[in-house]
Amino acid sequence: MELLDAMRTTGAVRAFTDEPVADATIGAILDAARYAPSGGNRQSWHVIVVRDPAIRRQVRDLYLDAWHDYVAHVLAGVVPFSPVATAAERAAAQARYDDAVRASRPDGFPETLDGVPVMLVVCADLSLLAATDRDLDRYQFIGGASVYPFVWNIVLAAREFDLGGVMTTVAVRNEPEMLAALNIPDSHAVAAVVALGHPKHRPTKLTRQRVSAFTTVDAFDGPALIEVAE
């Protein structure tokens, strides 16, 4: 598949067939993904291929609890886990948690996460991250630039093998329990859970903002960049 076509058509896939994915395919995907850039080329990532059914259920339960929290924010009209959320917005979301649990669907992705063909948990060695926003008085996210290109490369590389998948960070809401469930050392953080498999349905058209909606010239409030016609 051409690179630009892959970039334009790789949407989140959360429903998979029962067809298994061979270890050789997983290895080939990770072999391609490892060429992602990272700060100082330190490659801080560590991937856990989760196969044990009991551990998969633990990851599912931790994910599902966090998912209910996510849905509770949506029900409260609040951006889920926004780093600038007010105390009132946090309280409003917390008050809707039970409603989110009642809205849970037995066949939903969070509820059936333990059954995905391939479950990957991607961790990052905190000692290897160059987090240049470490000392700023705001939410910190720069360290992710050394991890998430690798994670996204996994999803992109899966397309070459006619697979689909999704990168999700919901379970990080319960990171201490995730560390314990997977025997991850405290020196590492959980970056994402990646589910892969043969998709039941593949998105054919993705909806995104046009370039002119988020690109300006010379200043944040400068004129919009004139984009090429689609």
Predicted pLDDT at 226: 85
Q: How many Å is the Cα radius of gyration of the chain? A: 19
Q: What CATH number is given for 3-201 in this structure? A: 3.40.109.10
Q: Per-domain residue ranges for the chain?
A: 3-201
Predicted pLDDT at 183: 98
Strand partners, 165: 196
End-to-end CA distance of the chain: 20
Q: Residue 185 region, left (φ>0) first, then alpha (ψ -120 to 50), else beta? A: beta
Report which residue type is found at 228. V
Report which residue type is found at 57. R
Q: How many CA atoms lie within 13 A of 168 on its CB side?
A: 25
Q: Per-residue DSSP letters for 95-115? A: TTHHHHHHT--TTSTGGGGGG
Predicted pLDDT at 227: 74
The pTM for the full model equals: 0.94
Q: From first to last of its 230 residues, what are the pLDDT tens digits of the chain? A: 788 888 888 999 999 999 999 999 999 999 999 999 999 999 999 999 999 999 999 999 999 999 999 999 999 999 999 999 999 999 999 999 999 999 999 999 999 999 999 999 999 999 999 999 999 999 999 999 999 999 999 999 999 999 999 999 999 999 999 999 999 999 999 999 999 999 998 877 788 999 999 999 999 999 999 876 65
Predicted pLDDT at 206: 86
Q: Residue 162 region, left (φ>0) first, then alpha (ψ -120 to 50), else beta? A: left
Predicted pLDDT at 228: 64
Report which residue type is found at 111. E
Q: Residue 173 region, left (φ>0) first, then alpha (ψ -120 to 50), else beta? A: alpha
Q: How far apart are CA 190 and CA 217, in angstroms?
A: 36
Q: How many CA atoms lie within 13 A of 217 on its CB side?
A: 6
Q: How many CA atoms lie within 13 A of 218 on its CB side?
A: 2
